[in-house]
Amino acid sequence: MTTYKHPHGHVFYRKMSHARPKISHGEGIYLFDEDGKRYLDGSGGPLVVNVGHGRSEIVAAMSEQAQKAAYVHAIMFTNEPTEQLSSELAELVPIPNSRFFYLSSGSEMVEGAIKLARQIQQARGENGRSTIISRHQSYHGMTLGALGVSGRPGLRAPYQAMFLDMPHIDPPNSYRDPISGEEAAERLEEAILDTGVENTAAFLAEPISGAGLGAIVPPDDYWPAIRAICDKYGVLLIADEVLVGMGRTGKWWGIDHWQVRPDIMVTSKGLAGGYFPLGFVAAKTEDVELIRQKLGDWNHGGTFSHHPVGCAAALATLHIMQQEKLVENSATLGQKLGQMLQAALGSHPNVGDIRGRGLFWAVEFVQDKASKTPFPVSQHLAWDIWQQAFAKGLIVYYSQGCADGKNGDLIMLGPPLIVNEANLAEMVAILTEAVYEALPVR
Ligand SMILES: Cc1ncc(COP(=O)(O)O)c(C=O)c1O
């Protein structure tokens, strides 16, 4: 197999020690490298490729828009795909009468959301409110503002002196800290009181935990209690739906599982199906209007905001999701995936927990089921399993640190939402082989 070891050529990548094959093309849930090896995209690349690879409808919509006008500056013009996408999304998001601002990556959207929260508070005359409370073991992105609110120590460490550290509370964790949602939400109230109500702009969290904790679903009373605390203290609630939005968990948005309405919401990964880097920050019209009336403008932006080709890609992606009922598929097949994982891996002595919602599942590995002791991070277990699976033609998503911020190995699955039951069976079979190879049972 041709592989490209680091260093080679003139490119460098984040992970520098391993070889990587060159991709030739993708089709549905599969990717093919230049030697013809097939990979089942069990992580949807990761959790981006909701509608599958090689969708000609999306390519056609992008090409049509690029031919008409590939780029227009959002300070001077609006464009049809952006207007149309926003009207259609307004019917889907849990923020009534919402407005949308577009940029590219999830990190950019999180930066946008925390700055928007600040400006909404300023427009309300609450000038002291600039602190954003978030959660430990969360992930909100790599830019400095997003790192300040993220809760993954390893990613933050080298840059700690360069960003403003925001207060973090412990998240609910059904596996390692099974308390009620109300009790977990009380941590927010304490943090607001510690910070000072007059200093607290917003609370930011992932409705269902993403890569940091691995598909932890909070107790049913958590989000309603969080909403009530935010209301009590005039704190804005920001839902980071970058990973769990766009149907990933079997509803359009993760927070829809609890019918809670955030004040601000962001998504990115699946919005344009991986065909274009596009994300949005959504807010209530009344808050956007308040900024217009009191501050004049929102002091934020970006050269590539409201990109017409990106919005055309997102619109085509959205239509495929609706026509092919992919959110429903995520809900029904997600349950099947959970059952299959449980049947195949539940009895493995080192599988501590299998959890998830919709088509987002995680397997947490432990040295011992009873004590839940994680493997030491230096063992790189998740990476080992990832490599075994990759060699067998399955792409999964891995992370470390779910147990205590440093140790704790996770493998996550988030296949394209177009999968069928046979695809899931193939995925689980390969993953099971990879797990038993990395962790043989004697
Ligand atoms: C919940 C969440 N927020 C923000 C981000 C950052 O997104 P990006 O990698 O596109 O900058 C991610 C990425 O994984 C994420 O999962």
Mutate to test the pocket of ligand 1, among 47, 49, 107, 150 (most ligand atoms within 8 A of CB): 107
Q: What is the pLDDT of residue 15?
A: 84
CA 267 to centroid of ligand 1, rounded, Å: 9
Interacting residues of 157 by C-beta distance below 8 A, sequence separation 6+: none
In the predicted model, what is the mean pLDDT of residues 67-95?
Answer: 97
Residue 412's domain comprises 23-54+325-438
Considering 323, 340, 358, which residue would you say is the last residue of a domain? Answer: 323
Closest CA to 428 of 374, 327, 359: 359
For β-strands 351-357 and 279-284, DSSP reports them as unpaired
CB of 274 closer than 8 Å to CB of 29? no
Closest CA to 360 of 106, 51, 38, 48: 48
> How sure is the predictor about 9, in pLDDT bands with cuts at 50, 70 and 90?
confident
Q: DSSP letter for 263, please.
A: S
pLDDT tens readout for residues 358-413: 999 999 999 999 999 999 999 999 999 999 999 999 999 999 999 999 999 999 99
**Is residue 162 in some structural domain?**
yes
Q: What is the pLDDT of residue 12?
A: 85
Indicate whether 68 and 145 sit together in one domain: yes
d(CA 355, CA 346): 11
pLDDT tens readout for residues 286-325: 999 999 999 999 999 999 999 999 999 999 999 999 999 9
**Is residue 206 within 6 Å of ligand 1 at its C-beta?**
yes
CA 311 to centroid of ligand 1, rounded, Å: 19
User: Ligand 1 atom closest to Cα of 108?
Assistant: 11
* Residue predicted with more confidence, 352 or 9: 352
In the predicted model, what is the mean pLDDT of residues 251-262?
Answer: 98
Indicate whether 239 and 383 sit together in one domain: no
CATH of the domain at 196: 3.40.640.10
Indicate whether 312 and 354 sit together in one domain: no
User: Ligand 1 atom closest to Cα of 266?
Assistant: 3
Look up residue 42 and give its two tokens: 């069990």
Q: What is the pTM of this model?
A: 0.97
Indicate whether 65 and 45 sit together in one domain: no
Closest CA to 206 of 231, 223, 185: 223
User: Ligand 1 atom closest to Cα of 279?
Assistant: 10
Closest CA to 205 of 216, 194, 221, 195: 216
**Is residue 138 within 6 Å of ligand 1 at its C-beta?**
no
Considering Cα of 141, then 222, then 168, then 282, what sign does the dihedral take?
positive
**Is residue 104 within 6 Å of ligand 1 at its C-beta?**
no
Indicate whether 43 and 166 sit together in one domain: no
CATH of the domain at 340: 3.90.1150.10
Mutate to test the pocket of ligand 1, among 139, 150, 360 (most ligand atoms within 8 A of CB): 139
Indicate whether 171 and 317 sit together in one domain: yes
CB of 298 closer than 8 Å to CB of 119? yes
**Is residue 145 within 6 Å of ligand 1 at its C-beta?**
no
pLDDT tens readout for residues 190-230: 999 999 999 999 999 999 999 999 999 999 999 999 999 99
CA 13 to centroid of ligand 1, rounded, Å: 18
Look at the chain and report how many structural domains it folds into. Answer: 2
Indicate whether 299 and 208 sit together in one domain: yes
**Is residue 400 within 6 Å of ligand 1 at its C-beta?**
no
Considering 263, 290, 323, which residue would you say is the last residue of a domain? Answer: 323
CA 95 to centroid of ligand 1, rounded, Å: 21
